[in-house]
Structure 1
Amino acid sequence: MSAHIDHRRAEHAQAAGVRPAGALFLIGGALDEDPALIEPLAALLRDAGGDSDRPRVAVFTTASEPPAADSDLAHDAESDEADGAYYVRVFDRHGIEGVPIPVGVSPEPSCANATYSRRRAEHSDVATLVASCDGVFLGGGDQSHYLLALFRGSDVEPGSGEAGGRRETPVMTAIRELFESGGVVAGTSAGLAIQQGAGMVTGGTSELGWSHGARAGYEPDDELRFSLQGGFGFFPEGLLDSHFTEWNRVPRAIRLGSATGQQLVIGVDEHTALAYRPGDRIGDVVGSAGVNTIDLGELETDGTPASPAALGARWTRLMAGDRINFASGVITRASRERAGAGDGPVPAAASALWSDDDGGPRLLALAQALLESSSNVVVGDTAEADAPGFRITLARDERTTRTDAGGFSQLRVSITPKPHHG
């Protein structure tokens, strides 16, 4: 049974004084004006706009880098302002009015003709512009830029240990009130990550997370770090991550969830979105790849800080048309689900599986090959030169299933120090 996205402002709830729930459209990255994502998002915005033939979406590209020179403002350049203009053109081609919001991470406009800056988040006229829209779109880049630009006193500056409170700027309040009154909040990559609450990842790789650990704060490096207070707090079901299987983030999710005490991590692949309705806690998968959940409810940790181990995480992968009910934990599949072993060839153990360039896609391919084979276990190691080294073990048991579309449920994942011989 194919799931669909259905969101309308609840007029009867408003009449009864009940706050209607908004909708989230969480894109894992590489939006690329993909019709499989843009068209469902446009439909959500039209629903939120009610009778409007051309709904309005506030476009934030705050996570992008500020222009270094006026040449970075050009039509084909890359900067916060140029990216904002790009998304306005994208939405226009799909019947949506994109409204660029001039809030950037730079404290002041960064070049002579730039208009975006952090201080614009304090302006009441910019907040009013956001409030006039039917939805918000949050572009990719660095999610910490959203914290720096839209909050004050958030203590997320590089080098900070992030102790202390924070307050919303008027523009952040406008975003929140728009969502809480039934508007749509969409985001890609960093625009997805910022929508979670406590424990939001601020950066880092799987390998460094396992070799060096995870810590609170923010630095522009490859160490695994997270925000104690988190992002906007719109998505309450667990931690969020983007570019998930492409950028090898399954091991990172296990390390981060364990460090922050979170039981569930939801990782969205590129060219894919999770359309989430907080009112009924339902999530629908759209796009060409997958939405992954990493459940740490049964996780056992062992070892030492220098040589950690984590046993028994559960990896589930949902594909287009699949639906997850976060309240009940029930997954409705759009394609046939199969239990037991397959008849494919037994996959060989993998090496250098956590490499930055192709470790993620290879891990997913290894998992899918295992499930199609007659084997129940396969392992993959970090590269020989990496120290300390780690081994990831994928295991099928009586709870594990697979689908014809390439999804699966309850694949057991364990990470241990790599054995050394000789």
Structure 2
Amino acid sequence: MLELKFRLAERFMAISTRYPVMIIGGAEDKVNDCIILRAFFESAGGEDAIIGVIPAASREPTLVGDRYYQIFTGMGAKQVKVLDIRLREECEEARWLEALEECTGVFVTGGDQVRLCDLVGDTQLLKTIKEKLKNDVIVIAGTSAGAAMMGEKMIAGGSSGESPNPALVDLSNGLGIVPELLVDQHFHNRNRMARLLSAIAANPDKLGIGIDEDTCIAMLGDGTFEVLGKGTITIVDPGSLTHTNDIHPHQRDNTEDPNTEGYDTEGYDTEGYDTEGYNTEGYDTENRADIPAPLSLHNLKLHVLKQGDRYDYKKRSVL
């Protein structure tokens, strides 16, 4: 049955575009048309693809790695390797670097983006991936946590459903695959607009990207991307920002010591602020009297894009 569905998807969708980088909002279709995963598969070389799956963000890497192994094998990839890295020092080991050297595509799964960056950040494995991307001999896709890590700055955790607020989000360093972007995922599905706005208030030099589930920005290698999938992409452009009352950005930047214990990185607190794990030094979090007032941001530019829409993230303009 699974093989039949892949054949039907192939018949209804011919993908001719190669996407060097694909950033997926999580919960991508894995059993029906598989538009996003098939686009990655084709970008990696189709039947000639050698795909490396990195499930390091997941708490169940064996299970998650095997699922994508089955998917890409079912699509007809020449070879699928699960790079089941559990310790940071393994990113320097020859066995994984040699396995990566053969890959034409790397797929980074969901899970906990802080765990992922702690394992992979500033290692030879990451340097090799970036070098191969620079030389255009590999493509990369990341979903959920694998999407969050794409920017130079990363949303490490936080809450949802509130007004923009400095206590709503915590930031850390990402892996810098696309440094200009600051990405949030499961976006409208988990009501994360306020979280992204709070992150952008602290990083007005970045372009905010909110990606819905089963939706993807597929980069074309020339500073532009197009949208794939069933949801929308929300772009928050602070390029013309004239005012914000965010005066505590340093309190949300845990790049030196990302203490994320207590964050709900998969869901959100619908009852109020989930302040456990936040850097709230100086705030009366018990009474909430000293939690900062909502943020104001003046003159932001907002775009909402759907499948087929294109955007130039270098020039910050819709095409």
Both structures adopt the same fold (TM-score exceeding 0.5): yes
Give 3-state SS (helix, strand or coil) of 2:45's partner. helix
Q: For residue 218 of structure 2, what is the aligned residue in structure 1?
A: 275
CA apart distance, 1:302: 3.8
Residue identity over aligned pairs, in percent, reads: 27
Higher relative contact order (Cα pairs below 8 Å, separated by 6+ residues):
2
Question: Contact 2:29–2:35 at 8 Å: present in 1 too?
Answer: no
Q: For residue 178 of structure 1, what is the aligned residue in structure 2?
A: 132
CA apart distance, 1:207: 5.2
Question: Contact 2:144–2:186 at 8 Å: present in 1 too?
Answer: yes
Question: Contact 1:282–1:326 at 8 Å: present in 2 too?
Answer: yes
The residue type paired with residue 95 of structure 1 is G
CA distance in 1, matches of 2:162, 2:90: 36
CA apart distance, 1:298: 3.2
**Mean Cα deviation higher: 290-299 or 304-313:** 304-313
CA distance in 1, matches of 2:23, 2:246: 35
Distance change (3 Å), C-alpha of 1:176 and 1:244:
same
Q: For residue 123 of structure 1, what is the aligned residue in structure 2?
A: 93
Distance change (3 Å), C-alpha of 1:312 and 1:267:
same
CA distance in 1, matches of 2:38, 2:147: 18
Distance change (3 Å), C-alpha of 1:207 and 1:304:
farther
Give 3-state SS (helix, strand or coil) of 1:148's partner. helix
Q: For residue 260 of structure 2, what is the aligned residue in structure 1?
A: none
Cα deviation code 1:82-132 (max 9, x no counterpart):
11111100111111232100212xxxxxxxxxxxx4332221121110111
Give 3-state SS (helix, strand or coil) of 2:23's partner. strand
The residue type paired with residue 36 of structure 1 is I
Cα deviation code 1:278-303 (max 9, x no counterpart):
4x101011111111101123332248
Q: For residue 142 of structure 1, what is the aligned residue in structure 2?
A: 112
Given the alignment, which residue of 83, 104, 115 partners 1:101? 83
CA apart distance, 1:208: 6.7
Q: Is 1:57 paired with 2:57? A: no
CA apart distance, 1:45: 0.9
Number of aligned residue pairs? 256
Distance change (3 Å), C-alpha of 1:291 and 1:210:
closer
The residue type paired with residue 106 of structure 2 is V
Q: For residue 83 of structure 1, what is the aligned residue in structure 2?
A: 64
Given the alignment, which residue of 188, 192, 195 partners 2:150? 195
Give 3-state SS (helix, strand or coil) of 1:246's partner. helix
CA distance in 2, matches of 1:177, 1:304: 37
Q: For residue 308 of structure 2, what is the aligned residue in structure 1?
A: 321
Cα deviation code 1:306-348 (max 9, x no counterpart):
223223333211111111122333323xxxxxxxxxxxxxxxx
What TM-score does the superposition give when structure 2 sets the normalisation length?
0.74
Q: Is 1:254 paired with 2:197? A: yes
The residue type paired with residue 298 of structure 1 is S
The residue type paired with residue 261 of structure 1 is P
Give 3-state SS (helix, strand or coil) of 1:201's partner. strand
Q: For residue 158 of structure 2, what is the aligned residue in structure 1?
A: 204
Distance change (3 Å), C-alpha of 1:185 and 1:200:
same
Distance change (3 Å), C-alpha of 1:5 and 1:273:
farther
Distance change (3 Å), C-alpha of 1:204 and 1:98:
same
Q: Which runs of 5+ in 1 are unaligned?
A: 8-21, 48-52, 66-78, 105-116, 152-167, 215-222, 333-422
Q: Which runs of 5+ in 2 are unaligned?
A: 1-14, 249-291
Cα deviation code 1:118-157 (max 9, x no counterpart):
3322211211101110010000011111221113xxxxxx
CA distance in 2, matches of 1:201, 1:43: 30
CA distance in 1, matches of 2:113, 2:71: 22
Question: Is the helix fraction higher in 1 or 2?
Answer: 2
CA apart distance, 1:203: 0.6
Q: For residue 245 of structure 1, what is the aligned residue in structure 2?
A: 188
Q: For residue 226 of structure 2, what is the aligned residue in structure 1?
A: 284
CA apart distance, 1:186: 0.4
The residue type paired with residue 34 of structure 2 is P
Question: Contact 2:150–2:181 at 8 Å: present in 1 too?
Answer: no
The residue type paired with residue 224 of structure 1 is V
Give 3-state SS (helix, strand or coil) of 2:171's partner. strand
Structure number with greater Rg is 1
Q: For residue 30 of structure 1, what is the aligned residue in structure 2?
A: 27
CA distance in 2, matches of 1:250, 1:43: 32
Distance change (3 Å), C-alpha of 1:331 and 1:260:
closer
Question: Contact 2:211–2:234 at 8 Å: present in 1 too?
Answer: yes
The residue type paired with residue 158 of structure 2 is G
RMSD: 2.2
Given the alignment, which residue of 201, 209, 225 partners 2:170? 225
